[in-house]
Amino acid sequence: MEEKNKTLSWRRMLPEEIEKRSFEIIARELGDRRLDPAQEPVIKRVIHTTADFDYVENLYFSRDAVPALKQAIRQGACIVTDTQMARAGINKKELARYGGEVLCFMGDEDVAQAAKENGTTRAAASMEKAAALDRDVIFVVGNAPTALVRLYELMEEGRCRPLGIIGVPVGFVNVVEAKELILGTDCPHIVARGRKGGSNVAAAICNALLYDMKNDGKNLEKKRGYQNDTGTVEKRYGGGDEGKG
């Protein structure tokens, strides 16, 4: 009875405080596990989104996937998702800084019609529509394995050359198999192996990349310093005669 009567203690916190505290808890529970520095922000944000530490082992990154995906974003690639939920969760303001936008064709009438006529899913038909875009594209799949399968087929047919793939559909039927297809491609990719994933995971990975790019920019500014009125370059940290180049 005493256990049942115990009340949990909590205090009001602002969103920024909650996020900061959450990442502190994640770091503490990871303990002495060493993560690849490029992959760490992605893995930690996915854990933050899901409270699932299995992603430390489940997330697979192809060689140089993170820098390749960042470069694709920098050059204005758009992101195509298979759900409106993923589209809603991706930070479109940050993406727009590089000229990109997030697209989802799942609700389009022509996609529904194509799926009906061809006897496929709307997710597969939406990949067909995306492949016809005359733009650089990163595909972000968080729900439908049929989207990944059709994307793989389009790549094999030479009809689609994505700059990157984030493949994290969730479920039981054809999910593992669809992900394994992407693992066998040369396209830069981040894949959640196994059954786990979801639109929230897809959005979290995109946001991790975007936020880390923002931090990359801040760190670059610190290293480069800034041009002052006298034409000399001073470091933002240090100052004085020592900071002049």
Which residues, at least 6 apart from 155, have a Cβ–Cβ distance to it below 8 Å?
Answer: 161, 162, 185, 187
Angstrom distance (rounded) from CA 125 to CA 117: 10
- 179-226, pLDDT tens digit by residue? 999 999 999 999 999 999 999 999 999 999 999 999 876 665 555 554
Q: What is the pLDDT of residue 221?
A: 55
Q: Considering Cα of 60, then 161, then 157, then 148, what sign does the dihedral take?
A: positive
- 130-143, pLDDT tens digit by residue? 999 999 999 999 99
For 68, phi then psi, to 5°, come to: -65, -45
pLDDT at 59 over 50: yes
Query: What DSSP element (H or E) covers 118?
Result: helix 109-118
Q: What Rg, from alpha-carbon coordinates, does the chain have?
A: 21
Query: What DSSP element (H or E) covers 23?
Result: helix 15-30
Which residue, among 67, 108, 22, 66, has the nearest Cα to 205 in the 3D structure? 66
Q: How confident is the model at residue 39 (pLDDT cuts 50, 70, 90)?
A: very high
The catalytic residue positions are 48
pLDDT at 234 over 50: no
- 69-126, pLDDT tens digit by residue? 999 999 999 999 999 999 999 999 999 999 999 999 999 999 999 999 999 999 999 9
Of 16-25, 38-47, 122-131, give the lowest mean pLDDT range.
16-25
Q: Does residue 234 or residue 156 have the better pLDDT?
A: 156
Angstrom distance (rounded) from CA 101 to CA 111: 20
- 60-76, pLDDT tens digit by residue? 999 999 999 999 999 99
Residue 87, amino acid: R
